[in-house]
Chain A
Amino acid sequence: MKYIGLFFQYAAQYMKTRLTYRTDMIVEIGSDLMSQAVNFIFILLVFGHTTMISGWSRDEIIFIYGFFLVPFAIFGAFFNIWDFNDRYIVKGEMDRILTRPIHSLFQIVLERMELESLFGVITGTAVMIYAGSRLDLSFAWYDPFVMVLLVLGGTLVYASIFVLIASISFWSDSPTSIMPMMYNIGNYGRYPVNIYNNIIRFVLTWILPFAFVGVYPAAYFLGREEWYTYAFLTPVIGLVFFLFSIFMWNVGVTKYRGAGN
């Protein structure tokens, strides 16, 4: 209960600071929209020259992209801790975090949240509605709940990978350069996994399971039954990876020695 109250207090403070610099926020949302538009235009342009990519149609690929945007936006709002090493370990900020009676990762999530990233949820939903209406997808009454579950699963996948890499910083300084790499590998999940070779497909499914953020869960709504097993695995993978990353984080915190003074 205490955690929920804290969350809303932090969120309220965050909104206050952001609304002081309104233009900054609008410009930031605008440039996010721009990069989403560029990816969207890329898909449209490519399909000006072909009708199918490895058995997926234009609108299906667009739907997958739209789905991907939603968990990615939620991840970006709360788990965007790519600068954890610089900010908390090198500068010794972790000392301050550890003196407080709240779980350390939760505090960092609160401090680092970027709520404007949630705007991507709206864009993603709009893209899915656009593609879905062109594909004539039918939705059962329980599908919205499945959607929430799969989105949460995808978010946890992203979150756990970044938490895992952040926890490496408790042992060594190197991960600063691994973080940006993860964003680029994450982009592989935006496209159907069957365009990649077996090794990459295996990595994207079981090691860095980015495929569970885009194509696998989206396949459920597209009625691609051959991928259903993977689609339903999404929340399981998300939860297992997330619990593992929390475990690694907790072990890492005990190894934290502080930074000099």
Chain B
Amino acid sequence: MGKYIEMIRIRFLMMLAYRTNYYSGILIYSINIGAYYFLWNAIYGEKGSIEGMSALQMTSYVAIAWMARAFYFNNIDREIAQEIKEGKVAVELIRPYNYLLMKTMQGLGEGIFRLSFFSLPGMIIVSLIFPIAFSANPATWLLFAVSLVFSFLINMQINLLTGILTFFFYNNTGLIRAKRVVIDLFSGLLLPISFFPAWAQQVMNYLPFQGISYVPSMIFTESFTQPQIIHAVLFQIIWVLILILPIQMIWLIARKQLVVQGG
């Protein structure tokens, strides 16, 4: 266990050394939030609420969705693909740790770094520029934190999955790019899942994506009722458990037929 915690610490320190790179990131996220802020206000126009959300809830939703993304988003899928392509993965496999778990810990170290140096200051800056509703209820914050952990896990698992698919496709930069775009839409980052047509919502209930962004953002903006929150967090937990299965399976198959290109 100690070595995994050490991994979190090392990645955190590594990110800390390059922290200036992140100041522009905050600005970029703020620019994006700004674009959606104006767009949503224009969409709401005179309307008081759409799908049970007020304009203020919607702008808060957009802001928290982007700032939460800074926490759960990472490039572990690309890193894995790179290590597989360069043959480094062969060395990783003989080291005395579980490769996938180690990658998850690195992602967590990165996430904790971004949470403290990106999301928190970013949220403060954004709330100074745009009106954002913060809940005064500590239970909301607690539930938000819990669901954020699961959203990190689901996103991480999908990253691991796309990363280890490199074993079979050799070059999957396109797949990784496409995955990112699809997740932005289907996770509810761009707009809440409740804005999708009913049939699409039905389909989405059978996919893990809304556990990434929609659930924590809806909890944060208090757009979910109590039973809905319980249902949503259970949804996340179930998906975290389900996703372990394909990852382990593909991982086992991949290890057996590993081809190291020039390693």
By a beta-carbon cutoff of 8 Å, the part of chain A in contact with chain B is: 23-24, 27-28, 30-31, 34-35, 38, 41-42, 45-46, 48-50, 52-54, 177-178, 180-181, 184-185, 187-188, 191, 195-197, 200
Contacts and interface: CB of A to CB of B under 8 A. Distances in A.
B138 interface: no
Contacts, number: 81
Contact of B38 (A23, A28, A181, A200): A200
B170 to A, nearest CB: 10
Contacts of B39: 53, 191, 195
Contacts of A54: 42, 45
Nearest to B21: A177
Contact of B43 (A24, A38, A53): A53
A187 B177 CA distance: 19
Given A46-B191, A178-B24, A53 B181 contact: no
B185 interface: yes
25 contacts: A23-B171, A24-B174, A27-B178, A31-B181, A34-B178, A35-B181, A42-B185, A42-B191, A45-B195, A45-B197, A46-B195, A48-B195, A49-B50, A49-B51, A50-B45, A53-B42, A53-B43, A53-B45, A180-B24, A181-B24, A184-B32, A191-B38, A195-B41, A196-B38, A200-B34
Contacts of A184: 28, 31-32, 35
Nearest to A185: B31
A52 B185 contact: no
Nearest to A25: B174
A46 B184 CA distance: 15
Contacts of B35: 184, 187-188, 191
Interface in B44-60: 45, 47, 50-51
A188 B35 CA distance: 6
Interface residues of B, number: 33
A181 to B, nearest CB: 5
Given A38-B184, A181-B24, A200-B38, A50 B177 contact: no
Contact of A27 (B31, B34, B175): B175
B210 to A, nearest CB: 14
Contacts of B158: none
A49 B28 contact: no
A24 B171 contact: yes
Contacts of A45: 191, 195-197
B27 interface: yes
B94 interface: no
A197 B38 contact: yes
B190 interface: yes
B182 interface: yes
Contacts of A35: 181
A38 B182 contact: yes
Nearest to B170: A23
Most buried by A among B42, B195, B196: B42
A28 B174 contact: yes
A49 B184 contact: no
A38 B186 CA distance: 10
A38 B181 contact: yes
B43 A46 contact: yes
